Structure 1
């Protein structure tokens, strides 16, 4: 049996509404929202009794998803949002955009902060890292043609 696809990347947040609107501004579409709870969910995560609000965001091509989760119970136990890019574990989510300058301008209006600077990688890409809502590290890249 072969791997079929990567379904989604999950990010835990405090402010679900603000984060949804940030990723909408980036260009993702809200696919759906739900509250996940019950014994079955706790068996999957190993957290026992849990209650989580989730929002599933989809890229315009329909191939990739970002699952935003806000834990109601149990409470969040660790915070890695402001870890530097060389920290172990989650690094960042990278998105391809048509125009990096225009995208940065829109996202700055929603509080995004440039981590370093926009750089050119050979004749292939312009790219950068930004901190989005709650310090989430996001990469954006513009393919050069």
Structure 2
């Protein structure tokens, strides 16, 4: 059996509304919100009794998704949001955009902050990292022609 696709990347957040707004400003579409709880969910995650609010965000091309989760129960046990880029575990999600500088400007209005500089990689890309709400790290890439 071959792998079919990657379904989504999950990110745990504190303020679902603020993070949804940030990713909508980036260009993702809110596909839906739901509350997940019950014995079946705890069996999947290994957390037992859980209660989680989720929001599914979709890229405009429909191929990629972010699942944003806010845990009400059990409590969050670790915080990796402000870890430097060379930390183990979740690092960042990278998005291709039409115009890096314009996108950085829009994301600043939603709490985004440039981590380093916007740099050019050969004649292929402009790249940068941004910290969004709650310290979430994302990358932006602009394909150069």
1:4-23 to structure 2, matched below 5 A, reads: 4-23=4-23
Deviation at 1:111, TM superposition (A): 1.1
In structure 2, how many angstroms separate the alpha carbons of the residues matched to 1:85 and 1:118?
A: 16
In structure 2, how many angstroms separate the alpha carbons of the residues matched to 1:20 and 1:109?
A: 14
Match for residue 26 of structure 2? 26
Map Cα deviations across residues 79-120 of structure 1 (whole Å, 9 max, x no partner). Answer: 000000000001100000001111000001111011010000
Where structure 2 has 5 or more consecutive residues not aligned to the other structure, the ranges are none
CA RMSD of aligned residues (A): 0.3
1:1-145 to structure 2, matched below 5 A, reads: 1-145=1-145
Where structure 1 has 5 or more consecutive residues not aligned to the other structure, the ranges are none
In structure 2, how many angstroms separate the alpha carbons of the residues matched to 1:116 and 1:94?
A: 15
Task: Name the SS for the 1:103 alignment partner.
Answer: helix
Map Cα deviations across residues 3-58 of structure 1 (whole Å, 9 max, x no partner). Answer: 00000000000000000000000000000000000000000000000000000000
In structure 2, how many angstroms separate the alpha carbons of the residues matched to 1:32 and 1:89?
A: 27
Deviating above 6 A after TM superposition, structure 1's stretches of 4 or more consecutive aligned residues are none
> TM-score if structure 1 supplies the norm length?
0.99
In structure 1, how many angstroms separate the alpha carbons of the residues matched to 2:115 and 2:102?
A: 17
In structure 1, how many angstroms separate the alpha carbons of the residues matched to 2:142 and 2:125?
A: 5
> What is the aligned length?
145
In structure 1, how many angstroms separate the alpha carbons of the residues matched to 2:138 and 2:2?
A: 29
